[in-house]
Amino acid sequence: MVTTTPLIVDFFLGRHLAELSRVTRLSLVFNAREGDPLVARGLPVRLLDVPIRRAIAPFWDLLAFVRLVYLFWRELPDGVISVAPKAGLLAMISAWITRVPFRCHIFQGEVWATRRGLPRVLLRAADRLTARLSTHQLVVSRSEREFLVREGVVDAARARVLGPGSISGVDIERFRPEPLAGQGVRRQLGVLDTDLLVLFLGRLKRDKGVLDLASAWAPLAAADPRLHLLFVGPDEDGLRGAIQAAMPKTVAPRVSFEGLTTSPERYLAAADIVCLPSYREGFPITVLEGAAMGLPLLASRIYGIVDAVVEDVTALLHRPGDVTDLRRQLDRLIREPELRRRLGEAGKARVHAEFEAGGVVSRYVAFVCAAIEECPR
């Protein structure tokens, strides 16, 4: 299995590694310079360092490509699975050159979906090449698959979505309502039991819509002193200062930031509303985790998200990039406690029925085992 950062391993691939290691000899290729994947510790998985970086870096990309070609030539693997765009491109080219029989890339959101001009053309071409050199194509949501087929990236006859989608599902034993944990976080933030806490959980990036959320929340908070806003996740685009500077002085003290966390369930337990106003997603795990905790969801109406929620049943959706629509829907959730309760209960039931982690991962493991049998060296 080939990916880029340990964060991808820890957030999405822990159960896959555990289950696949039971049925095959498994190696994990990742960029060890960015940390150690904690979930791989103690598993019978060999860790191999190849400096695959998420951003474009010609020298490091060439070095990673050479390392992968040599690795596959030396090891003669029966299959290679890649996750993340850069890892997919380099791994599929290297595996094709060395004639690895089973070559599978998992598509889970396209960075070029929100780009324009030459960057979009080049990045889409890279994904198209990744798909062409693979023997199997997996996509994490049905709406993302439709988008990729429409853009000419994947082959409609070969690209598959397993079950209802998602790459990892939700650990429903971990993500369940924990009032005591939530109360502890709220006390730390100065949020009273009668207050309402809106949570964004994920990477702070412009294309995640965090500036839209701040703009939509601020006037509502100015009119309602109960409202608090919490951003949890690494600030990859350096947006914290911009968010704070845009806030009126009267509401700025009610905006909080927490960095990267290994315990997202603590913050979800403290929240009243989960908001993901993103511009692009493959199949967002955050909304599933929030739903598993019985929380109402507010998100943008884009591919990927529309598979993770059911509009007006488990979540309210707004037009992407439309701050006015986002503010209107957020105001509805703030004013209607019965709506919050109804969305939360329906979302929790749906996650338990369709996206429990064990069932999602078992579909991936069964797919991989069957595909390798079909592609003998």
Residue 306 lies in a domain: yes
Q: What is the pLDDT of residues 56-87, one digit of tens each?
A: 888 999 999 999 999 999 999 999 999 999 99
**Are 156 and 196 in a shared domain?**
no
Q: What is the pLDDT of residues 96-110, one digit of tens each?
A: 999 999 999 999 989
Residue 318 lies in a domain: yes
**Are 11 and 125 in a shared domain?**
yes
**Are 100 and 248 in a shared domain?**
no
Residue 35 lies in a domain: yes
Q: What is the pLDDT of residues 151-171, one digit of tens each?
A: 999 999 999 999 999 999 999
Confidence of residue 54 (pLDDT cuts 50, 70, 90): confident
**Are 227 and 257 in a shared domain?**
yes
**Are 211 and 296 in a shared domain?**
yes
Residue 1 lies in a domain: no
Spatial contact of 316 and 253, defined as CB atoms under 8 Å apart = no
Amino acid sitting at position 93: I
**Are 270 and 362 in a shared domain?**
no
* Main-chain phi, psi angles of 359, to 5 degrees: -70, -40
Amino acid sitting at position 310: V
**Are 328 and 363 in a shared domain?**
no
**Are 216 and 193 in a shared domain?**
yes
The beta strand positions in 87-135, using DSSP E, are: 102-107
Q: What CATH number is attached to the domain comprising 128?
A: 3.40.50.2000
When computed from its CA atoms, the radius of gyration of the chain, rounded to whole angstroms, is 21
Q: What is the pLDDT of residues 206-258, one digit of tens each?
A: 999 999 999 999 999 999 999 999 999 999 999 999 999 889 999 999 999 99
In this predicted structure, the answer to whether residue 376 has a pLDDT above a threshold of 70 is no
Domain assignment of residue 253, given as a range? 179-355
Report the residue count for the chain. 377
Residue 368 lies in a domain: yes
Residue-wise DSSP of 140-188: S-HHHHHHHHHTTSS-TTTEE--TT--SS-B-TTTSS--HHHHHHHHHH
Q: What is the pLDDT of residue 53?
A: 87
Residue 174 lies in a domain: no
Q: What is the pLDDT of residue 231?
A: 97
> Which two tokens mark 184?
């502890």
Residue 141 lies in a domain: yes
- In whole angstroms, what is the distance from residue 7 CA to residue 39 CA? 10
Q: What percent of the chain has pLDDT over 90?
A: 84
- In whole angstroms, what is the distance from residue 12 CA to residue 285 CA? 9
**Are 18 and 69 in a shared domain?**
yes
Confidence of residue 316 (pLDDT cuts 50, 70, 90): very high
Q: What is the pLDDT of residues 325-343, one digit of tens each?
A: 999 999 999 999 999 999 9
**Are 81 and 113 in a shared domain?**
yes
**Are 351 and 215 in a shared domain?**
yes
Spatial contact of 184 and 217, defined as CB atoms under 8 Å apart = no
Residue 345 lies in a domain: yes
Q: Whose CA is closest to 144, among 129, 132, 120, 127?
A: 127
Spatial contact of 247 and 215, defined as CB atoms under 8 Å apart = no
Confidence of residue 49 (pLDDT cuts 50, 70, 90): very high
**Are 142 and 229 in a shared domain?**
no
Count of the separate structural domains present in the chain: 2
